[in-house]
Chain A
Amino acid sequence: EAGVAQSPRYKIIEKRQSVAFWCNPISGHATLYWYQQILGQGPKLLIQFQNNGVVDDSQLPKDRFSAERLKGVDSTLKIQPAKLEDSAVYLCASSLGTGTGGMGQYFGPGTRLTVL
């Protein structure tokens, strides 16, 4: 079974530039998550999709971050414009549903973003 795919793996940009990350979840997984992991901290949920609808985006900085999951499969997370404090690893995860207590969340390898 193929895992969660993410690209790019690494990205370096200047502040105020824009950047986009792509995630392809495990086939059949209805729920998709984007996490931000700042160095020295645990992953923090940014947004959760159930199919192509948003379940929770309470911690997404909506003035600069946006995410979409068209057709309920792939997802894109965008930052525009980027700030220095956005430097982090962005993790995508997927699960069959939401009622799994977290056990069924499978994580991708992440995209490491450096903002200069």
Chain B
Amino acid sequence: DQQVKQNSPSLSVQEGRISILNCDYTNSMFDYFLWYKKYPAEGPTFLISISSIKDKNEDGRFTVFLNKSAKHLSLHIVPSQPGDSAVYFCAATQTYGGATNKLIFGTGTLLAVQP
């Protein structure tokens, strides 16, 4: 049962353009969502997050949008840079009710930014 889905295994964009990575989830109990970035032979690193009480969170070139009714979130990178080339994982968790904040990850999207 894949509770967090990233349906695009890969994405290629030109440097300077916008990258949009998508993520869907099925569990309505999730109340916190995160994006992680992973380079080859390294562990994932936290990028940006959003609480379910918000619909947008921005940090520099990165913006995450959350549509709770559609159970969908997206990560926008503007402008895209070659150094952004990596695998991006969407993750979700339930933080209330004494939950352990276990992260449920999607399968990842490989972003390639072409110079």
Contacts and interface: CB of A to CB of B under 8 A. Distances in A.
Contact of A91 (B4, B43, B101): B43
In this complex, the member of B42, B43, B45 whose beta carbon has the largest number of chain A beta carbons within 10 angstroms is B43
Given A109-B43, A110-B43, A101 B32 contact: yes
Interface residues of B, number: 23
B75 interface: no
Contact of B101 (A4, A44, A102, A107): A102
Given A91-B43, A102-B91, A56 B105 contact: no
Contact residues on A (Cβ < 8 Å of other chain), bracket: 20 to 34
Contacts of A99: 95, 101
Contacts of A41: 107-108
B101 A43 contact: no
Interface string A47-82: 010000001100000000000000000000000000
15 contacts: A41-B108, A42-B91, A43-B89, A43-B105, A56-B102, A91-B43, A98-B100, A98-B101, A100-B101, A101-B95, A102-B93, A103-B49, A104-B46, A107-B45, A109-B43
A110 B49 CA distance: 23
B95 to A, nearest CB: 5
Nearest to B108: A42
Contacts of B46: 102-106
A83 B6 CA distance: 28
